[in-house]
Structure formats: structure tokens, C-alpha cells
Amino acid sequence: MGKIDADSIDVNSLSASSVVNEIFNSTLREIVHEVNVPIESLSDPVLLGIARNTTSAGRPSSEYYVRWV
């Protein structure tokens, strides 16, 4: 579960659904990496919201609800 170099991604070839899938899958991979829980035991992420961090140059962040099933 390594990071992908952003320069190696051809964003013009990606469909909207593949972008959404990558965002949600990267959320699950982050949980697996941080908490060491098998990905098979996590529910699909549910997007709770997107916020703009005004103290960090306006960087967006997203919040998800994930259950351990």
C-alpha cells in the first residue's frame, strides 16, 4: 500500500467513478495503515462532509463514517 506519484497519473483518462472509487479506497487504506485493521472488516465509507481548512491555506479535507463490521 504505497503512495502513487501524482505525476504518473493521467487524470484525463480517469472516469468520474474511478476518481470517486480511489478517494473512498484511499480512505480505507489509510485506516488500515493507521489502525492495523483488515480492510475486509471495514464498511464502505460514507461521506459526512467536506470542509475548507482556513488555517492551512484553504486546504480541503473530507470526513467519513466507517464501521468495523
Q: Residue range 16-22: average pLDDT?
A: 89
Q: Where are the beta strands (DSSP E) in the chain?
A: 46-53, 59-65
Answer for the pair 25, 49: CB distance below 8 angstroms, yes or no: no
Please determine, for residue 49, whether its predicted confidence score (pLDDT) is greater than 70: yes
Is pLDDT above 60 for 1? no
Interatomic CA distance for residues 30 and 14, integer angstroms: 22
Query: Is a pLDDT exceeding 80 seen at residue 6?
Result: no
* Residues 42, 28 contacting (CB under 8 angstroms): yes
Backbone angles phi, psi at 6, to 5 degrees: -60, -30
Residue 45 neighbours by CB distance under 10 Å:
19
